[in-house]
Amino acid sequence: MHDVILSLILLFVAAFSSLAARLLPVTVPLPLLQIGLGVLGSIAGLHVALDPDMFMLLFIPPLLFRDAFHMPMREFGQLRTIIFALAGPMVLATTILCGYAIHLMLPPLPLPVCFALAAVLSPTDAVAVGGMLGTSVPRTIVHMLEGESLLNDASGLVCFRFATVAAMTGAFSLRGALTTFSLLSLGGIAIGVLVCLAAARLDKILLARGYDDPPTQITFMLLLPFAAYMSAEAIGCSGILAAVAGGMTIKLTGVLQETQITTRLQARTMWDMVGFIFNSVIFLLLGLQLPALATNGMALVRAADRSPWLLLLLIVAIHLAMCILRVAGLALILGIAAWRARHDHGVFRWPGWRGLLVTTVAGVRGAVTLAAVLSLPQAADGVAGFPARDLLVTVAVGVILVSLLTASFSLPWLTRGLMDGLVDPQAREVSWARLVLVRTMLRAMREEQQGLTTRAKARDEAGEMRIEIIARLMQEYENRLNQLRRNSNGEASAAQIVSIRRMRLELALRLNNLRTSRIELRNLRDAQYINDETESVLMQEMDYEEQVLRNRARSLPRVG
């Protein structure tokens, strides 16, 4: 019962944090607010024993699966060289170079232990600052951060595994490490692809036979990341890469697009809820752990007869060292990519030094780092634990907080005006695609109109009615096409502005009619002319109609 009540409290605080972030007079990033609420909960007596293995199994697979599914595959393919360089060589270089830097700061700490700390800090968590970036940075930077965070968790955890083994046993083989890393990575990807391909194939068979029940479909989809993760972990491969590969596989198969519209709408809502709740709970759990970790850190400092400020200075110095290494690595990787793009007439452009700083600061540490460092074995019943475990946990959590604070306060300043004078390529692409689709519908209508007018059977009543309806639809599509068109300067003409305003007024009237209909529907139910089941059916129809109208309003160009 205690666990159930605790879960309900966490869900309530997650919802409350989102509301509080909107009501506060100053802008506070949601992750930091949730960490602060977690700290307050811990001080108030709310304690959660965090099981790292359970944490990784419950939270990481669905979040990575969701992020992989939403990753634009075209941009992933265009940036694959950069993403793999950031997720592979960059993680390895960070582990080695930052490990040596930590050893210089703390000479008594064995070098393998320093490597373990650097490895656990190497994975980035771009999701933590996704809301801070928004549309204020070029999409290329966002896609790089998303792709990097999808893949570098696995490489960082593999480096962490070998570093911890070396620290506890003193045995390490570079050839064995590289071989194991390749097997773990390729095996995880293969298992994720196979599991989700099999699931997609089974789903297509069921869809072909007419079985498309939205709750069942969505439940199976929610279980897919866990199936891929657990299958890979069961044979010793990377469950993280299995979840990532599974999400991309499901997207490429297009199986979700073959389901009915209700399934697709509910699936999107479900994954949005999973993303919000799981990310919120992760930061709440981090905040709940902070007081105890801070107490242990203070105890370590007092036992060593040192000032508490030295611990804070150490955390800041490690974060600064990792930022310097990240800037240097990014400059090298992006510089090579920009040179190759110019040489091969590609599309990648050097993001500029401010864009480089944004990419550096946005590479914060998060959930995977927390779970991995807490998984280090503790000394118990005469069994030796990991050397300096409490120090590593304290420092790792401190770096997570410093990276989040740095991103929270510096990103708004770094991204201010970064998109001035630049056109969002996604918005431009959406506008162009809308024009193409409207022209396609017009062409289809014209062809059908011509076919009907040239056939004798078009002279009957049904044919004449169809011709009249087609003419009315063509006029509607022509109006929409005029609204979407722009002149050479990207500005709308006076006639287009009038047409857009007329359409906005029409949509506003339609939405107002829907609100009036809802009130009347509620009155009919209150008077018991209809029951609540009838009300629910009609209300759902109105909701779908309103969603269509609001999407139509959002698609209209902005005019003065």
Residue-wise pLDDT tens digits, 32-81 = 888 889 999 988 888 887 788 888 888 889 988 998 898 888 888 888 89
Task: Using the predicted structure, report yes or no on whether residue 500 has a pLDDT greater than 80.
Answer: no
Asked if 225 and 275 count as a contact pair (C-beta separation under 8 A), the reply is no
Task: Reduce the DSSP state of residue 378 to 3 states and report it.
Answer: coil
Average pLDDT over residues 457-480: 74
* Nearest C-alpha neighbor of 392 from the set 165, 132, 114, 35: 114
Task: Using the predicted structure, report yes or no on whether residue 489 has a pLDDT greater than 60.
Answer: no
* Nearest C-alpha neighbor of 121 from the set 368, 349, 358, 304: 368
Task: Using the predicted structure, report yes or no on whether residue 455 has a pLDDT greater than 70.
Answer: no
Task: Reduce the DSSP state of residue 21 to 3 states and report it.
Answer: helix
Task: Using the predicted structure, report yes or no on whether residue 134 has a pLDDT greater than 80.
Answer: no
Higher pLDDT, 387 or 251: 251
Higher pLDDT, 322 or 467: 322
Percentage, residues of the chain above pLDDT 90? 18
Beta-sheet strands, E only, within 59-202: none
Task: Reduce the DSSP state of residue 496 to 3 states and report it.
Answer: helix
d(CA 56, CA 410): 30
Confidence of residue 488 (pLDDT cuts 50, 70, 90): very low
pLDDT at residue 458, as a whole number: 45
* Nearest C-alpha neighbor of 41 from the set 19, 11, 13, 18: 13
> Cα 46 from chain centroid?
29
d(CA 404, CA 31): 8
Q: Looking up tokens 């759902």, which residue turns up?
A: 540
Average pLDDT over residues 492-515: 80
Task: Using the predicted structure, report yes or no on whether residue 466 has a pLDDT greater than 90.
Answer: no
- Residues 236-245 have pLDDT tens digits of 888 999 999 9
pLDDT at residue 399, as a whole number: 92
d(CA 349, CA 355): 11
d(CA 31, CA 424): 26
Judged by average pLDDT, the poorest of 90-94, 293-297, 358-362, 480-484 is 480-484
Q: Which two tokens stand for residue 117?
A: 């700390």
pLDDT at residue 461, as a whole number: 66
Q: Which two tokens stand for residue 55?
A: 């944490």
Task: Classify each residue of 213-226 as buried b or exposed e, where b means 16 or more C-beta atoms within 10 Å of its C-beta.
Answer: ebeebbeebeebbb
pLDDT at residue 332, as a whole number: 92
Average pLDDT, rounded, for the chain: 83
Average pLDDT over residues 335-360: 80
The CATH classification number of 1-422 equals 1.20.1530.20
pLDDT at residue 28, as a whole number: 78
